[in-house]
Amino acid sequence: MRTIGIIQARTGSTRLPGKVLKPILGQPMLALMLERVKRAQTLDRIVVATSTNEGDDAVVALATQCGVGSFRGSEADVLDRCYRAAKDAGATADTVTVFLTGDCPLHDHAVIDEAVRHFIDAHDRYALSGTPSNYPEGLDTDIFTFAALEEAWQKATLHSEHEHMSQYLKNHPERFHLLPWTVGTRDDAHMHWSVDTQADFDFVTKVFEALYDTNPGFSKDAILSLVARQPELLEINKGGTGYEGLAKSLKRDEELKRQSHESLDQ
């Protein structure tokens, strides 16, 4: 079964502009993420899906430099951009599409492989799966077939469904089958490892400074050991969740519904 990894990445972030190109240890953050993701054995192809904005020319150049593909599409409509990126990469109905965001430089290739194998073992074209729910935020994946992606692309209507890859599937459990799972007994889901703010970037930088030179492919468990030894690191970006963007999109859904109702009432 063919598997395509699609990484959403653009420079137009509102909370931390240009974050995917901000340097860590002298390399753009996205380059470090790609180095880590390329170690995943289950990904047959990796594509960076960015926007057509001139500012994202550098993202395309970086993808080429790192030896992965790229695709340019709508900045606002992430679902459309990623659907077209997958189609451009040759996805067919049963192709497994693995969605990552470019603000997660601590992705662990072993976790990606673990999640992909869990999805494939389900043998369900209309399943929606991802990373174990007890793992730290910032290792998240959305995994579903291209057939499911195409249906979402055809039928999604809500603002949040176009901004977040799996939202349409989650909104239709009668059609798509969620595969929630956990691994082990400890729960690290409260840890926030993605980069949304400068504090998040500072935390991630500290992790790379501590672990990269010894082992560039350092694991999730190596990070957990580091923060256990140095719990003060978790204070750097304490309070963030990584899901503020989704909350904002859901709020926008409600605003648009209210505006539509008011328009009908006039």
pLDDT per residue over 144-202, tens digit each?
999 999 999 999 999 999 999 999 999 999 999 999 999 999 999 999 999 999 999 99
Give residues with Cβ within 8 angstroms of 252, minimum separation 6. 159, 160
The full set of domains in the chain, from first to last, is: 3-265 (3.90.550.10)
181 secondary structure, DSSP code = -
Closest CA to 163 of 98, 244, 63, 106: 244
Cα angle: 159, vertex 144, 49; to 5 degrees: 60
Contacts of the segment 13-18: beta carbons below 8 A, 24+ positions apart? 13/103, 13/196, 15/196, 15/197, 16/195, 16/196, 16/197, 16/198, 16/200, 16/201
Q: Report the Cα–Cα distance between both ends of the chain, in Å, rounded.
A: 53
Q: Which tokens belong to 202?
A: 């500072």
pLDDT digits (tens, 9 = 90+) for 197-231: 999 999 999 999 999 999 999 999 999 999 999 99
Helix (H) or strand (E) holding 127, with range, is: strand 127-130
pTM across the whole model: 0.93
